[in-house]
Amino acid sequence: MSARGPAIRVHDVVKVYRRLGRRPHGTLKSALLPGRVRGARTTPVAALDGVSFEAAAGESLGIIGANGSGKSTLLKLLAGILRPTRGTVSVSGRLAALLELGAGFHPEISGRENVEIAGLLLGLSRREIARRFAEIVRFAGIEDFLDEPVKTYSSGMAVRLGFSIAAHSDPDILLVDEVLAVGDEAFAHRALERFAELERDGRTLVFVSHDLPLIAERCRRAIWLDRGRVAADGPAAEIVARYRDHVAAGEGERRLGAGPGGDRVGSGVAFISAVQLLDADGRPAGRLRAGEPAALEMTVHAAEPLTDFVFGFRLVTVAGNVVFGVNTSLEGLRPARFAGAARVTLSLPSLDLAPGVYSLDAAIHARDGAPYDYRRDVLRFEVTSEVAAAGVWSPRRTWEFEGDVEWQEGTGSTRRT
Amino acid sequence: MLLPLAPYARLAANRALVRALASRELVARYRGGALGFLWALINPLLLLLVYATVFRFVFAPRADVKPYSLFLFGGVLAWAFVSGALQDAAETFRSNGPLLRKTTVAPEVFPAAAVLARLIHLLLALAVLAAAIAVAAARGSVSPGPAALEFPLVLALLAATVLGLALAVGTLSVHFADVRDIVGNLLTLAFFVTPILYPVAAVPERWRPLLRLNPFATFFSAIQNTLFFFRPVTAADWLWMSGTTLVALLGGGAVYELLRDSLAEQA
């Protein structure tokens, strides 16, 4: 555990996700048939692209970056769950990974039995588990429920137990993925204390988290991953600050996020060349505030003059639920003529959507529905709000309270109009 | 090249975990019921009673093996082990997907635990079989002999064969969804071309060499010999079973080892 070379060494690591079959679970046929069928949709995606770094024993390292930047892939490579496509990953010493607290708990068997299995899964021997058992249980605070099946535990209890087992597995290297986001304040505090203890003992800690203050405080060093590459590597506070600046700059000028837009069908007699979301000032935006005016705009072209055409938009949640769909035919507009290029704008005086990410489909088609150009998921945008709301609709609203109901001074949303 | 043996070396190192996973399966399965673990004994007992009743009052038993229900019982129990273990193995990586993706565990422990859990079931059921043999012997319908002592070795070879096949089946079904169904159908077919419902002697002489092509046939013939006819296993049968076991272990180990790296991504 003393300084004898790096605890972690990652050299020029590339990780490409590829699938054997065409679909997530390929069929034998797709694997046995040569070329055409098999290669059709295997677009390799490089989750990590030439990542190198070393971490000394006793170092605490934070890994930050946007979703999809490769953080979790990196952690899984360090854990040995995945293998690099190219490059080398070497770790020295016993490694424990806290990728999901309570992974592997079986609901039907008792906490006691689960501790044993989880310990074995972490690479402890039966004897080591027995020796630490009391401490694990005490730390998790589940003494009274030890012989109850885990399905009777609250999620907080299960998480505490999962954490406690891993934190007491005496690892030389501990990998932690976003696990402190769960559990209550008091437990998070104890968990942090335990991390500090481990660090004092010269263990190496690697955190992946979106909790930037946590990384800045807890880690000495941070690595910022951006689309599979190391964007910056240095003192945690400094890297976190740079990452924050980058994110803030990106938010302001982010153009409408082009969706994957993979699905596109139609005869092409007419086609959509651009789709934009406009904010209150008529500027393209990828992020809008709930309740403000917005407009959807598409630029369309007719390859030949048309007398049968319908323009439409459809708004979908990322989970696939339709929020609303409108088109010129439903509005009662009867087509007469469309030739050349045109700009079609649907204005919404108030975007009454709950905060979240939405996906837009745009289409031009014949009145009988035959598509000229139907573009699914052509753009994605985010609706933000100071007030959280469940669902998709966030209408203008007021609350009224009659009777003996009081609220603390100065609390409540600005939208309580 | 020792590559195909590597998973077995790791299994030996992880044997405590394999045992714990297998016993977790059993404990979770039987916990809660009023009779709990007794079901592992009651189930085979009821099966035997059903056979005894059916072949007394409904169907005519085979005349060449008496008592037929006892003859059938041993084979069916052993087959339940083979077919159960292989079908569980086809599911095991998928059902343990979260663990594969979230922990550093060596994946081969899951099919091994599935095989072990089924083996434990079989061993419990064999206690019922032993009692049934004792009753039959007391009534003079069978006369047990020392050949029965060879059975544990037959079972050990069979279990090792199933382990090798389980590694291959488990690995392949992660990559190819069809494997699960193919295995299910092959097992149904194999049940009828394996000497379970009938003794090997009932197979015409000229077809017997073909029977060897079924990897399970020799094992089940040896099970009938040791547990029903109480005849020693022939040297040729020992050789054939050992060879089958070796091929299954090496083949299964090789398939697993070649595709292991992608299990966590695909499962």
Lowest-confidence segment of A117-126, A305-314, B107-116 by average pLDDT: A117-126
DSSP letter assigned to residue A257: E
pLDDT of residue B181: 92
Q: Cβ of A120 and B17 within 8 Å? A: yes
Phi, psi of A199 (to 5 degrees): -65, -40
pLDDT above 80 (res A25): no
Angle ∠(A317,A322,A325) on CA atoms, nearest 5 = 120
Residue A176 contacts residue A206 (beta carbons within 8 Å)? yes
pLDDT above 80 (res A10): yes
- The answer for residues whose C-beta is within 8 angstroms of residue A403's C-beta and 6 or more apart is none
- How many angstroms separate the CA atoms of A35 and A155, rounded? 47
- Report the SS3 class of residue A51: strand
Whether residues A132 and A60 share a domain: the answer is: yes
Q: Which of residues 185-244 of B touch A (CB under 8 A)?
A: none
pLDDT above 80 (res A319): no
- How many angstroms separate the CA atoms of A102 and A154, rounded? 12
Residue A137 contacts residue A196 (beta carbons within 8 Å)? no
At B200, which amino acid appears?
Answer: V
Instruction: Dump strand ranges (E) for A78-172.
Output: 86-91, 95-98
| Across A344-365, average pLDDT | 90
Q: What is the pLDDT of residues A68-114, one digit of tens each?
A: 899 989 999 998 888 898 999 999 888 888 777 777 788 888 899 89
Q: Which residue of A17, A27, A95 is in closest CB contact with B265?
A: A17
Q: A153 in a domain, yes or no?
A: yes
pLDDT of residue A27: 58
Whether residues A18 and A157 share a domain: the answer is: yes
- Structural domain total, chain B: 1
Q: A414 in a domain, yes or no?
A: no
Q: A401 in a domain, yes or no?
A: no
pLDDT of residue A22: 44
Q: A228 in a domain, yes or no?
A: yes
Whether residues A197 and A306 share a domain: the answer is: no
Residue A361 contacts residue A316 (beta carbons within 8 Å)? yes
A37 or B24, greater pLDDT? B24
> What is the SS3 string spanning B70-107?
HHHHHHHHHHHHHHHHHHHHHHHHHHCHHHHHHCCCCC
Q: A77 in a domain, yes or no?
A: yes
Beta carbons within 10 angstroms of residue A390's beta carbon? 9
ipTM of the complex: 0.79
pLDDT below 70 — which residues of chain B? 1-2, 267
Residue A370 at interface with chain B, using a CB cutoff of 8 Å: no
pLDDT of residue B138: 93
CATH, residue A359: 2.70.50.60
- How many angstroms separate the CA atoms of A174 and A167, rounded? 8
Whether residues A39 and A83 share a domain: the answer is: yes
Q: Which residue of A82, A117, A122 is in closest CB contact with B20?
A: A117
| % of chain A surpassing 90 pLDDT | 27
Whether residues A237 and A270 share a domain: the answer is: no
Q: Which of residues 216-245 of A touch B (CB under 8 A)?
A: none
Whether residues A262 and A336 share a domain: the answer is: yes
Q: Which helix (H) or strand (E) holds B169?
A: helix B151-175
| Chain A interface, best mutation among B169, B265, B266, by max A CB count within 10 A | B265
Q: Which residue of A26, A82, A106 is in closest CB contact with B176?
A: A26
Q: What is the pLDDT of residues A230-251, one digit of tens each?
A: 999 999 888 888 888 787 666 5
Residue B173 contacts residue B87 (beta carbons within 8 Å)? no
- Report the SS3 class of residue B190: helix
pLDDT of residue A179: 66
pLDDT band at A212 (very low <50, low <70, confident <90, very high): confident
- How many angstroms separate the CA atoms of A79 and B189, rounded? 42
Whether residues A176 and A68 share a domain: the answer is: yes
Q: A124 in a domain, yes or no?
A: yes
Q: Cβ of A95 and B104 within 8 Å? A: yes
Whether residues A113 and A193 share a domain: the answer is: yes
Residue A310 contacts residue A292 (beta carbons within 8 Å)? no
CATH, residue A214: 3.40.50.300
pLDDT above 90 (res A415): no
Q: What is the token pair recorded at B193?
A: 């071309």
Whether residues A95 and A174 share a domain: the answer is: yes
- Structural domain total, chain A: 2
Q: What is the token pair recorded at A95?
A: 């490694």
* Domain limit, last residue, from A230, A251, A272: A251
Whether residues A121 and A263 share a domain: the answer is: no
Residue of B nearest to A24 (CA): B266
pLDDT of residue B100: 85
- The answer for residues whose C-beta is within 8 angstroms of residue A252's C-beta and 6 or more apart is none
Residue A123 at interface with chain B, using a CB cutoff of 8 Å: yes
- How many angstroms separate the CA atoms of B73 and B196, rounded? 9
Q: What is the pLDDT of residues A165-191, one digit of tens each?
A: 888 888 899 888 876 666 677 777 888
DSSP letter assigned to residue A355: S
Residue of B nearest to A176 (CA): B102
Angle ∠(A359,B97,A137) on CA atoms, nearest 5 = 110
Query: Which pTM was predicted?
Result: 0.69
Q: A187 in a domain, yes or no?
A: yes
| Across A43-62, average pLDDT | 88
pLDDT above 80 (res A253): no
Provide the domain limits for residue A87: 6-251
- Please state the length of chain B: 267
Q: What is the pLDDT of residues A262-291, one digit of tens each?
A: 567 888 888 888 888 998 888 888 888 888
Whether residues A172 and A280 share a domain: the answer is: no
pLDDT of residue B245: 97
Residue B171 contacts residue B259 (beta carbons within 8 Å)? yes
Q: Cβ of B103 and A82 within 8 Å? A: no
Provide the domain limits for residue B203: 3-266
Q: Which of residues 27-86 of A touch B (CB under 8 A)?
A: 27-29, 31, 76, 79-83
Whether residues A209 and A342 share a domain: the answer is: no
